[in-house]
């Protein structure tokens, strides 16, 4: 487990005209499953055209902008609290006004963030290549994570590799110790101070706003709002933790997925 502070982020990758695109979690940190980047618009601008071999997910921390499907030219507006899911090999770009900030990216991340060949997704009339959601309209609440743990970009909307949750821990709240057998957990702190606990090793690391907790596969862990402040975060396990969803009461076998998506191979194995 690591707590990554903003001064440890990677250099600007040059993908935003009018801002910076920096790696928080990805190949530079040894991540296998999650790509999480800081996208910050210092002026009105847009990204280069982006295409990934894998899914991508984003959260709008502040400001306004849009996501544009490069093939159709269709733009969908984004505002604070918006969450975006992009299917593999979809060509798109992101725009933002000065002061807009997003976190997210392709999962897993490759050495090159973009450059995949754009290929139309099968059944795009049923499963749109780009969907926009909002933190205030979650698909599932997970009480053992916190009293306010919202799954927004999750398996229920067809997201397997790239997920985005929104979690609020009240002062004094600590989530139940848990483990992801085949997923990395990434928790980007938007607000508050607390403690990240690697239960497997006994290590405890303090965190604050702007920090990112990254937990490798197979480590029991918990997050505590033990500094008298509420803690707000986005992120979650990638790929989707089917075990966790089953514990939360989801009938995973009844969830329909896009034709080019499948559950993680490990999800069907018995513990």
- At 69-110, the pLDDT tens digits run 999 999 999 999 999 999 999 999 999 999 999 999 999 998
Reading the block at residue 186, the tokens are 């990434």
Tokens of 129: 């290549």
Going by pLDDT thresholds of 50, 70 and 90, the confidence category of residue 267 is: confident
Question: What are the boundaries of each domain within the chain?
Answer: 2-134, 140-257
Return the closest-CA partner of residue 224 out of 187, 182, 179.
187
CA–CA dist 163, 261 (Å, integer): 14
Residues 246-265: tens digit of each pLDDT: 999 999 999 999 999 999 87
User: How many C-beta atoms surround the C-beta of residue 254 within 10 A?
Assistant: 6
Mean pLDDT of all residues in the chain? 95
Q: What is the mean pLDDT of residues 47-64?
A: 97
CATH class of the 2-134 domain in this structure: mainly beta
Q: How far apart are CA 160 and CA 173, in angstroms?
A: 28
Please determine, for residue 216, whether its predicted confidence score (pLDDT) is greater than 50: yes
The tens digit of pLDDT for each residue in 127-165 reads: 999 999 999 999 999 998 999 999 999 999 999 999 999
pLDDT at 268: 62
Q: What is the CATH architecture of 140-257?
A: Sandwich (2.60)
pTM of the model as a whole: 0.96
The reply to whether domains 2-134 and 140-257 share a CATH topology is: yes
- By C-alpha distance, which of 186, 207, 142 is closest to 168? 142
CA-based nearest residue to 153, from 234, 217, 96: 234
Secondary structure (DSSP) of 184-234: EEEEEEEE--EEEEETTTTEEEEE-TT-EEEE-TT--EEEE--SSS-EEEE
Check whether 210 has a pLDDT greater than 80: yes
């Amino acid at each position: 487990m690591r707590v990554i502070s903003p001064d440890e982020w990677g250099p600007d990758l040059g993908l935003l005209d009018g801002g910076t695109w920096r790696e928080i979690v990805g190949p530079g940190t040894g991540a296998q499953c999650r790509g999480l980047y800081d996208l910050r618009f210092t002026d009105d601008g847009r990204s280069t055209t982006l295409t990934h071999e894998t899914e991508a997910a984003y959260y709008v921390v502040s400001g306004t902008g849009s996501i544009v499907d490069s093939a159709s030219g269709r733009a969908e507006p984004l505002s604070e609290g918006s969450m975006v899911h992009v299917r593999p090999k979809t060509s798109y770009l992101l725009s933002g006004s000065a002061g807009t900030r997003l976190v997210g990216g392709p999962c897993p991340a490759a050495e090159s963030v973009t450059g995949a060949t754009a290929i139309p997704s099968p059944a795009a009339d049923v499963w749109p290549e780009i969907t926009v959601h909002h933190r205030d309209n979650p698909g599932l609440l997970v009480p053992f994570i916190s009293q306010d743990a919202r799954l927004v970009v999750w398996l229920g909307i067809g997201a397997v590799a790239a997920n985005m949750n929104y979690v609020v821990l009240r002062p004094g709240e600590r989530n139940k110790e848990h483990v992801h057998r085949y997923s990395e957990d990434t928790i980007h702190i938007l607000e508050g101070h607390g403690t990240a606990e690697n239960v497997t090793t006994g290590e405890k690391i303090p965190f604050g706003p702007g920090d990112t907790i990254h937990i490798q596969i197979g480590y029991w862990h918990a997050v505590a709002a033990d500094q008298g402040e509420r803690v707000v975060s986005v992120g979650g396990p990638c790929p989707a933790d089917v075990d966790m969803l089953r514990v939360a009461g989801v009938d995973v076998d009844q969830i329909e997925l896009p034709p080019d998506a499948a559950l993680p191979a490990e999800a069907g194995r018995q513990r």
